[in-house]
Amino acid sequence: MPGAFFQEVESLVQKILQLPPGKVLAVTHRNADVESVTSAAILSLLIEGMRQDVELDTYFPEGVSAKAFGVVSLLEVDTVFRPQDIEDYLAIVFLDVGGPGALGEAKTLLDTSADRWLIDHHLHGEDFLSAFDLQLVESDEVSSTCEILYYACENRGIKLNENLKKAMLAAIIVESRFLRLVRCRTLELMSRLCREGVGLNEAFSLLAWERDISSKLAVLKGMKRATIMRSGEWVAAFSHVGAFQSEVANALISAGGDIAVVGNDENGGCKVHIRTSDRFVSELSITAGKDIVDFLTSRFGGEGGGHPSAAAAQLDVPMSQVFADLEQYLKDRFSSLTKAKFVRVE
């Protein structure tokens, strides 16, 4: 990896070494996924291996995603239901948090007096980054947050056990959209882990889960309700559903969409999930987590963030207004590329 990245990893190591004895709190995004749980477990290993006098508490706001239950069971991560006496913590380490909206009930922790550290691989706006005393954010060279922490462990000669290696491979698989967006450096790391005896089949087995009936029905309803637009060979899909919006958006992309926007009205505004195809990002040079989220939040207020091809935003206007303005935004982008009208597919 480039020297700059290793210097940032070294800065994290030095921060941990400089902590006085006491307690640190690790916080993930709400409904922690495989990546979040694994990152928290590796951070725990890192701190334990460096500082016997520093205790780490782990907080998963609003619990853990059903998809991560296998990893939680494998790693036996100790958690706090909801941290009390926040002023007792020396530092709060935010792991795999794509933006303030992803924190849910833990958003208030951004306003605490403790040191705030961000370790992440998402795309972020400057407003969010300014909330942290330490920013270790890398999205170009790695595919997941847990890789950053892996290199911090390597810096100190701390070895991951077999279960952590399995979980990390599983996290990389998910975060790279099942290796479709995997970074070259990440592939090198995966190869190293495999040579150390951890099979990809073991990682994939951690991701096996049966979609429950509520999720199945939400995805089917969301696809049925979708408004489909096209401009030449480009296809956009807009849909609304009360729950499982990210799953619906993923399904619309898997079915052939180049961009899918799925949302629901809530609390006087709306929450939207955005997914794009790889072609959308590479040929249009438009990212979901930066360009589209910046367009939406600057126009409507709110907050959001994410990856180049996956993002979410909490906005201050109804979903219908967001869909209308996004339709015009895409029409302008597509028309310059295809010279074809952006029309509804009946």
User: Per residue in 209-254, pLDDT tens?
Assistant: 767 788 889 999 999 999 999 998 899 999 999 988 989 999 999 9
336 vs 265: which has the higher pLDDT: 265
Q: Which CATH class is domain 214-344?
A: alpha beta
Query: Residue 5: what pLDDT?
Result: 84
- In this predicted structure, the answer to whether residue 120 has a pLDDT above a threshold of 90 is yes
- For 166-185, write each residue's pLDDT tens digit: 999 999 999 888 888 788 88
Query: Residue 96: what pLDDT?
Result: 94
- For 183-206, write each residue's pLDDT tens digit: 888 999 999 999 999 988 888 888
- In this predicted structure, the answer to whether residue 1 has a pLDDT above a threshold of 50 is no
Query: What CATH code is assigned to 3-206?
Result: 3.90.1640.10
Query: Residue 210: what pLDDT?
Result: 67
Residue ranges, comma separated, of all CATH 3.10.310.40 domains in the chain are 214-344
HEC profile of the chain? CCHHHHHHHHHHHHHHHHCCCEEEEEEECCCECHHHHHHHHHHHHHHHHHCCCEEEEEECCCCECHHHHHHHHHHCCCCECCCCCHHHEEEEEEECCCCHHHHHHHHHHHHCCCEEEEEECCECCHHHHCCCCEEEECCCCCCCHHHHHHHHHHHCCCCCCHHHHHHHHHHHHHHCCCCCCCCHHHHHHHHHHHHCCCCHHHHHHHCCCCCCHHHHHHHHHHHHHCEEEEECCEEEEEEECCCCHHHHHHHHHHCCCCEEEEEEEECCEEEEEEEECHHHHHHHCCCHHHHHHHHHHHHHCEEEEECCCEEEEEECCCHHHHHHHHHHHHHHHHHHHHCCCCEECC
- In this predicted structure, the answer to whether residue 158 has a pLDDT above a threshold of 60 is yes
Percent of the chain at pLDDT > 90 equals 58
